Structure 1
Amino acid sequence: MNKLEKEFIPVMLTPFKDNGEVDFDGLTKLSELYIEAGAKGLFANCLSSEMFELSEAERLKVVAHVVKATQGSVPVVATGTFGGPIAQQADFVKQIYGCGVEAVIGITGLLAGEHDADDIFDENVLRLLELTEQIPMGFYECPVPYKRLISPLQLERLVATGRVTYHKDTCLDIDQVKAKIAATQGHKFGLYDAYMAHAVASLKAGSAGLSCIQGNFFPELIVWLCNNYNNNDLKEQVDKVQQFFIDEMDVMHNVYPTISKYYLQKRGLHISTFTRRNDIGIFDAKIKTGIDALSERYDVLKNELEIKFEVA
C-alpha cells in the first residue's frame, strides 16, 4: 500500500442476518460503501468483523468474498493467526493468503502468552515468517485476548526482514507512534493508526493512514481527514474534525459493533444490527438516543465541510 498518499483502511464489520448467518449480500454492499467513500484498502476478518465469533470456514469465506467484492479496485488485508502452535498458525496464514489478500495480519496477543517476555514473541514471529515462505505479513495490536504492543525496536527488526509491510497500531501514544515511524523509514511498510484522538498528529508524523472504528460510522469523514490533514487553507476545519473525534470518542465505543450497524442502517445500508458477540452490553433506549444524537451532530459537521457522500 502506498504510504505517500494517506489512506483510510476500514476495520470491516461482518453483517449477519437476523438468524445469525453471515449476510454475504450485505457484506458486498458494505465493501462497496467503504470503497465509494474513498477507502484505499480493506481490513477484513478483524475484531470489528467479529473474527473470534466466526468459524474457521466462515473466516475463509468472508475474506474470499470481500476480495471478490472489491473486483481488484483496492487491496485487502486479513487476520490469519488465531492461536495454537506456530506451525498451525502458519498453515492458516497460507489459507488466508490463498483467498487473494495482499498481506496476512498476525494478532500480537496470539503469538505469545500475556506474561511471555518480548524475546519469546520475537522468536515465535520469526518462526512464523520462516514457515510462511514469502507471504507478506502485518501485525495488529488487537486488545483481545490481551493487548501486546510492539516496541519501536521490535518493529524495526521485523520490518527489516522485508516480510512485514503493514502494522495496525493501537498504542494510543503519539510519541510511540512517532518512534515506530522513525524506526521503519526506508522500507516498503505502512503504519496505520487506530487512535483518532491524535489522528492529525499521527498523519503529520508520517503514518501511512488511519484504520479506526469511526470509519464504521462515517467513512467519508476519515477519508476527508486523510486528504486534508495538512491543508493550511482548511486548518480551522481540520481542527474542528479532530476535536469532533475527541468529543465523540466514548459514544462510539459503547455496545460496539451493534451501534455502528445501527448507524449505517440509519444512513440507508440494508443490514441487520445482529451481532454474535454477547459481551458488549445492551443496545437499549439510552444507547440508541446517544447514537441518534451523534448522527445529528455529524450531519451538521458534514454540511459545514460540504461533504456530499451519501449511502446508496
Structure 2
Amino acid sequence: MNKNKKFIPVMLMPFFEDGKIDYMALSQLIEFYLAHGAAGLFANCLSSEMYHLTQEEMIQSVSFIVKTVDGRVPVVATGTFEDTIANQASFVKEIYNTGVESVIVITSLLAKETDTEEVFQANVHQLLTLTDDIPLGFYECPLPYKRIIDPSFLGQLVQYGRIKYHKDTSLDINHVGAKLLATRSSEDFGLYDAYMVHAVDSLLTGSAGLSCIQGNYFPELVVWLCNNYNKEEQINKVQKVQHFFQRNMDVMHDSYPTSAKYILGKRKLKLGVYCRNRNYVLDEKVKQDLDNLYLDFEAVCNQLGIDTSLSMIA
C-alpha cells in the first residue's frame, strides 16, 4: 500500500507527413517521458496506433525503444493481434526477443465479443502454454471491443508467477479493488489504472500506479500525483490536480492522439501532429480548446511550484 507508485506512459508514435515512423522524434519522446519521471514505458499500444502498424514496424519500433532506453526503465509492449492463438503466441515470442521485460496481451483479441467467459479463459490458458516462461501482462484495450478480465481469474493467473502487469480500463473503482484483493499475494504483479477520474482513489486502494493517456500531455502532473496522493500536507494540491484531470477529461480524449501531439508541440517537442488514423484532424475549435487546456495546465503548475520552462526539451 505504501510502495512507491509508478507512472507508465502509453507511448505515442511519431510519424512524418508521409506516414513513415519518425525515429528521431521517437528518441526525443522517450527522453521526454524519462525526464519527467516515467518509471517504465508501454510501447506498441493503442496510443502508438498499433492497429495501423505492420508487424515488421512493431518489431523495429519496439527494438528501437528498448535500445534507446538502454535499461534505464523497464519496457513492456503488446504482442498479440487478431489471429489464431498459435500465431499470437508466435508473435509474443518475437516481441519478447526485442528485449522487453513483459509482453502485453490484449484481452479482447483472445476471444470474440460473443464468446463466453469459458472460451476466453481457455484461450488464455492455451496462450500461456504456447509461450513458455515469457512474462506477460494484460491490457483491457477498448478496441476492437472491451473485455474486462474477471478479478478471480486474474488472481488465479497471477499465482503462476508469469503475470507481471495489468492495465485496467474497467472505469470502476470497485472492480479495481476486487482485482487488487484477488492479486494481493503477489509482490511481482502490478495493476496500473488508466482512468484518471478516480486516480487518487485507485492509488489509495493499492494500485501500483497509473498508465493513462493524460500522461502524453502532462506527465509531470501524473508523476506528481503518484508521489503525493497520500500526503496529508498536500491534500489540497492533490485535489487540485485530481480536479484538473477530471474537468479536462473530454478535451484530452477528443481528437486523441492528434491532440496530445499538438500539446507536445507547444512544449517544443518536434513530433508533428500526423497520425495514421486520419479520423482525428484538429479544427480551429479543438485547437482553441487545447490552447485553453495548456493555460489551465500552466496555472496548476504555478500552484504546485512546477517550473514548466524546465519541462520543455528543445
Q: Distance in 2 between matches of 1:154 and 1:291?
A: 40
1:133-172 paired onto structure 2 within 5 Å: 133-172=132-171
Unaligned runs of 5+ in 2: none
Deviations 1:234-282 (A, max 9, x none): 00000111111110000001111001001001111011100000333x3
Separation of aligned partners in 2, 1:90 and 1:311: 40
1:54 maps to a residue whose letter is L
Counterpart contact for 1:38–1:223, Cα < 8 Å: yes
Aligned residue type for 1:14: M
Question: Could you say what secondary structure the match of 2:132 adopts?
Answer: coil
- Whichever residue aligns with residue 310 of structure 1, its letter is S
Q: Match for residue 196 of structure 2?
A: 196
Kindly provide the CA deviation profile for residues 182-226 of structure 1, in whole angstroms up to 9, marking residues without a partner as x: 110121200000000000000000000000000000001100000
Q: Provide the residue aligned with 1:88 in structure 2.
A: 87
Aligned twin of 1:121: 120
- Following TM superposition, the consecutive aligned residue runs of length 4 or more in structure 1 with deviations greater than 2 angstroms are none
For structure 1, which runs of at least 5 residues remain unmatched after alignment? none
State the partner residue of 2:27: 28
Q: For 1:58 and 1:173, how far apart are their aligned partners in 2?
A: 34
Contact between 1:3 and 1:190, CA under 8 Å: does it hold in 2?
A: no
Letter in 2 for 1:264: L
What SS does the corresponding residue of 2:18 show, helix, strand or coil? Answer: coil
Provide the rounded CA distance (Å) in 2 between the counterparts of 1:212 and 1:256: 12
- Please give the secondary structure, in 2, of the residue aligned with 1:48: helix
Contact 1:111 1:125 in 2 (8 A): yes
CA distance in 2, matches of 1:3, 1:22: 40
What amino acid does structure 1 have at the position aligned with 2:224?
Answer: W
C-alpha distance in structure 2 between counterparts of 1:73 and 1:53, whole Å: 28
Alpha carbons 1:197, 1:242 under 8 Å: kept: yes
Q: Which piece of structure 1 moves more, 291-300 or 150-159?
A: 150-159
Is contact 1:3–1:208 with CA below 8 Å preserved after alignment? no
1:110 aligns with 109
TM-score under structure 2 length normalisation: 0.97
Q: Secondary structure at the match of 1:105?
A: strand
Which amino acid in 1 is paired with 2:221? L
Instruction: Tell me which residue corresponds to 2:311.
Output: 310
Distance 1:234 1:82 in 2: 43
Q: Deviations over 1:93-135 (max 9, x none)?
A: 0000000000000000100000101111111111111111000
After superposing the two structures, state which structure 1 stretch, 301-310 or 13-22, moved more. Answer: 301-310
Q: How many residues in Structure 1 have an aligned counterpart in Structure 2? A: 310
> 1 CA distance for matches of 2:276 and 2:312?
25
Q: TM-score, normalised by structure 1?
A: 0.98
- The answer on whether the counterparts of 1:80 and 1:96 sit within 8 Å (CA) in structure 2 is yes
Deviation at 1:3, TM superposition (A): 8.8
- Matches of 1:120 and 1:45, distance apart in 2: 26
The answer on whether the counterparts of 1:141 and 1:147 sit within 8 Å (CA) in structure 2 is yes
Q: Residue in 2 aligned with 1:230?
A: 230
2:76 corresponds in structure 1 to 77
Match of 1:287 in 2: 286
